[in-house]
Structure 1
Amino acid sequence: CQEAGIVPIVEPEVLMDGAHGIDTCYEVSKATLLKLYSELYAARVVLEGTILKPNMVISGKKSGKLDSPEIVAEKTIKLFRETVPAAVAGIAFLSGGQSDEEATANLNAINAIGPHPWKLTFSYGRALQAAAQKAWSGKAANVAAGQAAFVHRAHMNHLAALGKWQPALERAA
């Protein structure tokens, strides 16, 4: 990618589909990122010209546990400080099956405990689109509602990327 003038987006996602706890997610994510950066170094990738697109450190869906945003933030930043070189240009989180508000709250908590050596933002799919798709429901009459839901979620995530989101903003919409 870099030889062709393209910014590599490196996506080593650890899935949250299992019954594992947050500590298992942390350990597996750590092993994954250590291997990833070892391989990128060996390939002489210029880290300043890369974007990391990882998962957050959270318990698996089947664990029955919903980790608080503060715990997710603490574990995720601890992981990155141990594994992600400060030279990496930025980190754009995957939502990894989290609900829209859960992903926003977790991103906000991660940014609120900064500063960090990397720019931290979102690259959500489902967590950005779910409310818009539900509001739209494939009906022409609902296009405006779908668009409004998408704009709202994008704005909430923008605030979370700054560490300025609050749950009360969800109800204000």
Structure 2
Amino acid sequence: MSSNMMDTPGYTSTLPGTQVTSGSETSYLYPYHPPAVAKSLIEIAQALVNPRGKGIYATDETIDSIESRLASAEGIVGKLYTDAEKRERRRRFRQCLYESLPTDYISGVILYHETLLDFQMGPVLSNRGIIPGVRADTNAHPLPISPSEPATQGLDDLLPRLQAAARAGARFSKWRAPILCNSSTLPTQAALEVQAESLARFAAISQQAGLVPIVEPDVDFAEDASLNRSVEVHIKIISMIYARCAAYGVLLEGSLIKPSFPQPGLKHPSRANTSVETIGLAAATVLARSLPVAVAGVVFLSGGLSDSDSVQYLNAVNAIVNGAPSESPLCLSRLPNLSFSFGRGLQGSAMQKWVKGNEAGAKAAFEERAKACFLAARGEM
């Protein structure tokens, strides 16, 4: 990094022992965090979760995944498209929503590399004041010691891929690490260590490329784990991630986390009777016990949840924080903004209308869902 990158108005640099100073706030940096880059990372991370309520639209599905969802929404079994027609359909769907995203509710969009690099849609978003991001992880592979558990891939060529994404307009990146969870044997310690390590290495490399990292520990709820077990696993993996982030010198102020909601597994008998308020308290407890205070914000994932559940859970955790007394032993008032990074939870209804040729209806449906998510991220539903 050239020395002129250190000369940022309002910022001071005295390597080694660098300080980044803005107003009355001072952050001590490692020598490999040039102040101008650190300033940019912090500002982007803050912009993704501020003003409170704004969140991220996750459009980072693989090509096969978005094709499957479009076909399902269309509901025409056996209808064939050529590869060129499928590619154009994907492009048109993304463009329809990107050009009309409600900027009052949406701060950023996670793009798949096809959308960012091939369709070159980063400027479509940034020209409207929405921050483009990119999916960084690739396919998972079985963990050799525990083949039923996945280990996420994509670290080997990550830096050049993220540098290319930055040149295409991306300003943040996201890495998903699925964590299987049941009442007894899963996750294994090996799986937790592998995923925590990959997320921390990703975060450090992302910041090296000048992109805000979003770490995504996605704890599965398909099996028979109790809510207590889910809380335990969430706390353990998030704590492990940040222990490894400390080892790699990740600038936490310039990062976000995208966790799942702790919840009973689908096969646990308590699932049907667990209230949204209980889920909200569980989520707040997980974050209070495991999230470093420096992390800029939280953007929950919707995963396999229904549209209704994802928004209700988000509203519940924010309502818990809003109503927490200042003397709460969990110190919930110290938590950063708790927002959303939803895909299906935002676009499902819009996609149903778009495949039928109703673009205006698709845009209106998306805005309605985005407003609901915005209100939930403020605890105001």
TM-score range, shorter chain: 0.7 to 0.9
Is 1:11 the equivalent of 2:216?
yes
The 5 Å alignment of 1:7-156 reads: 7-63=212-268, 65-66=271-272, 67-114=274-321, 115-134=333-352, 136=353, 138-140=355-357, 142-156=358-372
Question: What does the per-residue CA deviation read over 1:15-44, in whole Å, with 9 as the maximum and x for residues that have no partner?
Answer: 222232211211111111111111111111
Number of positions where the alignment pairs a residue of Structure 1 with one of Structure 2: 163
How far the C-alpha of 1:110 sits from its partner, in A, is 0.8
Larger Rg, first or second structure (1 or 2): 2
How far the C-alpha of 1:116 sits from its partner, in A, is 4.4
Runs of 4 or more consecutive aligned structure 1 residues displaced over 4 Å after TM superposition: none
Amino acid of the residue matched to residue 131 of structure 1?
S
Is 1:157 the equivalent of 2:364?
no
How far the C-alpha of 1:89 sits from its partner, in A, is 0.2
Amino acid of the residue matched to residue 83 of structure 1?
S
Q: TM-score, normalised by structure 2?
A: 0.41
Q: Secondary structure at the match of 1:122?
A: strand
The structure where strand makes up a greater share of residues is 2
- The structure with higher relative contact order (CA 8 Å, sep 6+) is 1
- Aligned counterparts of 2:277 and 2:367: Cα–Cα separation in 1: 26
- Aligned counterparts of 1:24 and 1:48: Cα–Cα separation in 2: 30
Q: Which moved more, 1:27-36 or 1:124-133?
A: 124-133
% same residue: 38
State whether residues 16 and 96 of structure 1, in contact with CA within 8 Å, keep that contact through their aligned partners in structure 2. Answer: no
Structure 2: gaps of 5 or more residues:
1-205, 322-332
- Aligned counterparts of 2:275 and 2:350: Cα–Cα separation in 1: 25
Q: TM-score, normalised by structure 1?
A: 0.87
Amino acid of the residue matched to residue 118 of structure 1?
P
- Aligned counterparts of 1:116 and 1:158: Cα–Cα separation in 2: 21
The structure where helix makes up a greater share of residues is 1
